[in-house]
Structure 1
Amino acid sequence: MIPHSLLLESQHTDSLANTLKEIGYTFERVKSLDDVTKTLEGGKFHFFIFHITDVENGEAQKQLTELLENYPQTLIILITDSTKWDITATLLKQHKVYDFIQTPIDLSHLQFTLDRSFQYLLTKQKSQLINEAENHLYKRMVEIFDWKKSLSHKENENIAADIIHQMNINLFQGSGIGTLMSVVSILISKSKLDLEGKNYSIPKPVMDLLSENYEAAKSMFDSMSISQSVIDDEMVVKNLDSPTKLLSIIQTETETLNEALNIKSQKINLSQIPASVTGKKIHFDEAKLSYVVREIFLNAIKYSREKDIIYLIFFHKENFLELKVINPAYQNNDGTNGIPEKYESFVFEPFFRISSVVDDSYAKFEQFRFGLGLPLVKKIMDQHQANVQIYNIENNFRNENTKDICLTIRFPLIEEEK
């Protein structure tokens, strides 16, 4: 994943913007500290980067403290020089900034610092989630091995039940292997041998059920084959093409998913690609990007409700083309809404699920299953040297005080050779 940065614009950070472009990192700029909070509320940034001259006064440092408290998942990186070591040391000591970059900015040192900081951020998020999972496991163990509860309820559970539950979700819940086995069992019990003992007769409803679930199981194995091909493919996409080619992929996949949209009378609203990207190119593999578009559309469709509108919007920002897929956020089984902040990076890990509910209505459209959808989307985007994130945002499309889920892909833009 490519880190996404928010850069406080000044004469001292112009060279940094050019260096970030050179190493292919995505970023956005704000003109003042007062704009930072609003921008952080409307998007997801791994780093906030500014020059030390912009935080020398007390009011600016107070704002910095508020940002640190309100946005702990955004690391603060300081640009400094040898004349400001006293302020730099103070900010580092007070943990108001995570790391610093000294001017003149060296490309390799900048990339090393940001990469190292990004790994720290991911590790921090993972440790928080693991701690929560350990607490949950501990509570489960107490419940299971509490002898009083065991005597009163004759409970016969064990931790392995959780593992079996996950296997059931990934392989056997809903139509597919499990149901196919059930139908075969019915087929055997309901079929009748003729008088000559040579042929079996099968009731038509049983045969129809068998055919239906055979197709569902076949679709499951097809998706496993596609997933395996993506997992095994380590090639970085070298081909370049116009960003406008994305529109034909989106159009094709929208038509393919029309039946899926009709299940809950949903609609997709698509914006145009900004004219400002004319003459620029992106890394482009049509087949792989088709997989990505299908998966992110299906995610939005499955987790939206009746008559919801799904928005797909393009933006040209700095050195990248941004594609946002936005759909309403609803309550999860655990009481959280949409994509809780603590899960934002983990939804891209294999087999991770916020909800364990499987909806068979969309099974025939899926090319990735078993909790591999977003992990494979991330892998494909990595191969395109692009960034993908998913997070909650404030609702700006509907006149309601609610949140939306926003999946954002950022394609680095490459100048077309003349």
Structure 2
Amino acid sequence: MIPHCLLLESKNTKPIADLLKEISYTFERVNQFEEISKTLEQGKFHFLIFHANDLINENDPKKLSELTTDFPQTLIILITDTSQWDLTASLLKRHSVYDFIQTPVDADLLKFTLDRSFLYLSTKLKSQFLNDAENNLYKRMVEIFDWKKSISHKENENIAADIIHQMNINLFQGSGIGTLMSVVSILISKSKLDQEEKNYTIPKPVMDLLSENYEAAKSMFDSMSISQSIIDDEGKVNRKESPTKLLPIIESELKNLSEALSIKAQKINLSQIPISAAGKKIWLDETKLSYVIREVLLNAIKYSKEQDIIYLIFFQKENFLELKVINPAYQNDDGTNGIPEKFESFVFEPFFRISSVVDDSYAKFEQFRFGLGLPLVKKIMDQHQANVQIYNIENNFRNENTNDICLTIRFPLLEEEN
């Protein structure tokens, strides 16, 4: 994944903006220190980058400490020179900044520092998630071994049920293998041998049911084949195309999903690609991106409700083209809404599910299954040297005081070759 940066723009950081473009990292700019907090609230950034000489006010170092507390998923990288060693040491000591880069900065040094910091950030977020999971497991164990409960053994029975439930979700729930096995059982019990004991007769409803679930099971195996091909493919996309090639891919998938949209009478609003991006290039593999578009659209469709509108909006920002897929956020099984912040990076982990409910109405449209959809989306976007994130945003489309889920894909824009 390419880190997404927020740059405090000044004459001191102008070379950094050029270097970020050179290494194809996506970034946005703010002009004033006071704008940083508001911008971090509106989007998701891995890094905040600024120059030590741009800390003008006495309260700026204190505000940095507040930013690290308020936005723990954003690391602060300081650009400094030999005249600012005291300030740099002080900020590092107080953990107001995570790392620093001494001028003059070149592309290799910047990329090395950001890559190393991003690895730390990813590890930190994963360790926090694992700690939460371990704490929940510990509480569960305490409950299990509570002597009052151990007498009845009810909790132990629940654990076995939970394990079976998870297996059922990942492999057997809904149409497909599980139902096919059930239908075969019905087929065996309902078929009748003729008097000559040479042929079996099968009731038409049973045969129809068998055919329907055979197709569902075949679709499941096809999905496994596609998933395996993507998992095994380690190559980067090396074909450059105009961003305008994205529109026919999206329109084709919208046509493929028209029946899925009709299930809950939903609509999709698609914007045009900004004219300013049309003269650029992006890395583009049409087949792989069709998988991505199908998955993110289908997720938005499945987790939206009756007559909801899903927005697909293109923006050009700095050195990248951004595609946002926006749909309403609803309550999850645990009472949270949409994508809880602590899960934003873990929805891209294999088999991770926020909701255990599987809606079988959409099974025939799925190309990825078993909790592999978003992990494979991330894999494909990595191959495109692009970035994908998902998070909650405030509702700015429906004039309601609610949240939306926003999945954002960022394609670095490449200059046309002469």
Q: Please indicate, yes or no, whether the TM-score normalized by the shorter chain is above 0.5.
A: yes
The correspondence of residues 112-131 of structure 1 with structure 2, limited to 5 A, is 112-131=112-131
Q: Tell me if the contact between 1:141 and 1:159 (Cα under 8 Å) persists in the aligned partners.
A: no
Provide Cα deviations, 1:146-187, integer angstroms capped at 9, x if missing partner. 332121355543756544332211110111111111111111
Residue 99 of structure 1: aligned partner: 99
Change beyond 3 A, Cα 1:150–1:65: same
In structure 1, what is the Cα distance between the partners aligned to 2:315 and 2:98?
A: 30
Residue 41 of structure 1: aligned partner: 41
In structure 2, what is the Cα distance between the partners aligned to 1:366 and 1:128?
A: 32
Provide Cα deviations, 1:49-98, integer angstroms capped at 9, x if missing partner. 11112224223223323322211111111111100111111111111111
Q: Secondary structure at the match of 1:312?
A: strand
List runs of 5+ in structure 1 lacking aligned partners: none
1:359 counterpart = 2:352: no
Q: Secondary structure at the match of 2:243?
A: coil
Q: Secondary structure at the match of 2:358?
A: coil
Residue 349 of structure 1: aligned partner: 349
Q: Tell me if the contact between 2:191 and 2:200 (Cα under 8 Å) persists in the aligned partners.
A: yes
Q: Secondary structure at the match of 1:108?
A: helix
Normalised to the residue count of structure 1, the TM-score between the two structures is: 0.97
Residue 374 of structure 1: aligned partner: 374
In structure 1, what is the Cα distance between the partners aligned to 2:386 and 2:283?
A: 8
In structure 1, what is the Cα distance between the partners aligned to 2:152 and 2:193?
A: 51
In structure 2, what is the Cα distance between the partners aligned to 1:188 and 1:343?
A: 46
- Deviation of the 1:110 alpha carbon: 1.2
In structure 2, what is the Cα distance between the partners aligned to 1:155 and 1:73?
A: 37
The correspondence of residues 19-418 of structure 1 with structure 2, limited to 5 A, is 19-152=19-152, 154-157=154-157, 162-418=162-418
Change beyond 3 A, Cα 1:133–1:161: farther
In structure 1, what is the Cα distance between the partners aligned to 2:328 and 2:217?
A: 31
Q: Percent identity?
A: 79
2:360 aligned partner, one-letter code? D
In structure 1, what is the Cα distance between the partners aligned to 2:249 and 2:269?
A: 15
Q: Tell me if the contact between 2:65 and 2:95 (Cα under 8 Å) persists in the aligned partners.
A: no
In structure 2, what is the Cα distance between the partners aligned to 1:66 and 1:328?
A: 31
Q: Secondary structure at the match of 1:244?
A: helix
Q: Secondary structure at the match of 2:27?
A: strand
Normalised to the residue count of structure 2, the TM-score between the two structures is: 0.97
Q: Tell me if the contact between 1:144 and 1:157 (Cα under 8 Å) persists in the aligned partners.
A: no
- Deviation of the 1:140 alpha carbon: 2.2
- Deviation of the 1:329 alpha carbon: 0.8
Change beyond 3 A, Cα 1:172–1:141: same
| CA RMSD, Structure 1 to Structure 2 (Å) | 1.4
Q: Secondary structure at the match of 2:157?
A: coil
In structure 1, what is the Cα distance between the partners aligned to 2:111 and 2:169?
A: 41
In structure 2, what is the Cα distance between the partners aligned to 1:111 and 1:165?
A: 44
Q: Tell me if the contact between 1:56 and 1:87 (Cα under 8 Å) persists in the aligned partners.
A: no
* More deviation, 66-75/247-256: 66-75
- Deviation of the 1:2 alpha carbon: 0.6
1:8 aligned partner, one-letter code? L
Count of residues paired in the alignment? 418
Provide Cα deviations, 1:315-370, integer angstroms capped at 9, x if missing partner. 11111111111111111111111111111111111111111111111100000000
1:16 aligned partner, one-letter code? I
